[in-house]
Amino acid sequence: MPRNPNAEPKPFVLVPIPSQAPDCRRIVTHEQFSGLTGRLELTFTVVSEYLFVGSGAYEFDPNARGDRPDVWYTFYRRDGQICVPGTSIKGAIRAIVEAISNSCVSQKHRRERISSRRHEPCQFQNENSSLCPACRLFGTTGYRGRVHFSDFLPSGDVKTEIVKIGELWEPKRYDPVRRRFYEQKRFEAVGDTRPQSGFRFVEAVRREAQFRGALIFENLTGAELGLLFHALGWAVEGERVTIAFAPKIGGAKPRCFGSVQFIPDQLRLWNSKLGGLLAPQVMTGRDVLPFLFRCLQECQKSELLHSESWKALKQGFQPQNEPCPKEVY
């Protein structure tokens, strides 16, 4: 297919893959009980126009006569209720962790080559294997990882609507030297609800919809937890914890869907230093912030955070008052 001469600007944030190799280290085994183990309850708010998390299924309206949606991709559901599966949040947060910690590039298509051979996906063989920071946290084939997300359920009354968008084309050419994320631009409505070739319908939730769930972690250092917090879009500024950006989750990202802002609700922390599993320490609301602050700071001081990549991503994720491409780009 010829390249579209009127192509709209590509909505990508590009983060160069550093020339240094990932800092691979021995894994932490699950038998040890050391470091920070706990559960952080989170709420996220949709800050883009829409969020769509598909299940691959679709529904149709047999009475549509060309004037309204006939077939649409449905939002993911669990027991009949819309829901954002933990795996889809984990995937999105992992991609950010990989970029900001200079980890291996785990999510590449089969035929893609990255020019840095040192960033090829890690291979786990046994307990003596060395893995990059992201694989040590999230796992890789053969190693379970120490970070999980629960499914996120709607908080309050969250309604869906059927939205018409241009078809989503996979970018033809991958980039062998940079990681690619989607920018936060302004959604552009197509303007009608007629079924039309080159367009599709998706069931989405609107801006300000909220979902609640949890980040579950075991045996992490403060710096590792701080790395996760950076990937959730948090940072320290002076003496405060601030929101640095809104990560993207779900589908239709090329149509500027999926930006969400995470807020901590409650933290339960099991302290290994006390020996044995005692009742957890519980912090709620603003009382969680000093802990977040410490972890974010420990991460900044450690070598886990690759500061150039962090800066590039943070800069690129700033919302832009520019329209999102409506059609093929």
Least distance to Zn ion from the beta carbon of 113, Å? 17
Residue 104 makes contact with Zn ion by CB under 5 A: yes
- Beta carbon nearer to Zn ion, 93 or 236: 93
DSSP code string of 241-273:
EEE----B-SS-GGGT--BEEEEEEEEEEEEGG
- Beta carbon nearer to Zn ion, 143 or 149: 143
| Residue 229 amino acid letter | F
By CB under 5 A, which span of 28-36, 124-132, 176-184, 262-270 interacts with Zn ion? 124-132
- Beta carbon nearer to Zn ion, 87 or 123: 123
* Distance, CA of 45 to CA of 215 (rounded, Å): 16
Residue 83 makes contact with Zn ion by CB under 5 A: no
DSSP-derived 3-state class of residue 32: coil
- Beta carbon nearer to Zn ion, 63 or 125: 125
- Expressed in percent and rounded to 5, the helix, strand and coil fractions of the chain are 20, 30, 45
- Beta carbon nearer to Zn ion, 184 or 309: 309
Residue 46 makes contact with Zn ion by CB under 5 A: no
Residue 296 makes contact with Zn ion by CB under 5 A: no
Burial of 240 (0-12, 13-18, 19+ CB in 10 A): exposed
Cα angle 210, 216, 219 (rounded to 5 degrees) comes to: 155
Residue 105 makes contact with Zn ion by CB under 5 A: no
Residue 122 makes contact with Zn ion by CB under 5 A: yes
- Beta carbon nearer to Zn ion, 84 or 104: 104
Q: Tokens representing 50?
A: 């829409």
Q: Residue 308 CB: number of other CB atoms within 10 A? A: 12
Least distance to Zn ion from the beta carbon of 226, Å? 19
- Beta carbon nearer to Zn ion, 107 or 281: 107
Residue 135 makes contact with Zn ion by CB under 5 A: yes
Query: Cα torsion at 87, 292, 211, 77 (round to 10°)?
Result: 10
Q: Yes or no: say if 149 and 215 are a contact pair by the CB < 8 Å rule.
A: yes
Least distance to Zn ion from the beta carbon of 124, Å? 9
By CB under 5 A, which span of 39-47, 67-75, 135-143, 231-239 interacts with Zn ion? 135-143
Considering only 28, 132, 209, 214, the residue that binds Zn ion (CB under 5 A) is 132
Least distance to Zn ion from the beta carbon of 101, Å? 10
* Distance, CA of 102 to CA of 304 (rounded, Å): 8
Least distance to Zn ion from the beta carbon of 229, Å? 20
Residue 137 makes contact with Zn ion by CB under 5 A: no
Q: Yes or no: say if 95 and 111 are a contact pair by the CB < 8 Å rule.
A: no
Burial of 294 (0-12, 13-18, 19+ CB in 10 A): middle
- Beta carbon nearer to Zn ion, 132 or 324: 132
Number of residues that bind Zn ion (CB under 5 A): 4
Residues at the site binding Zn ion, with contacts judged by CB under 5 A: 104, 122, 132, 135
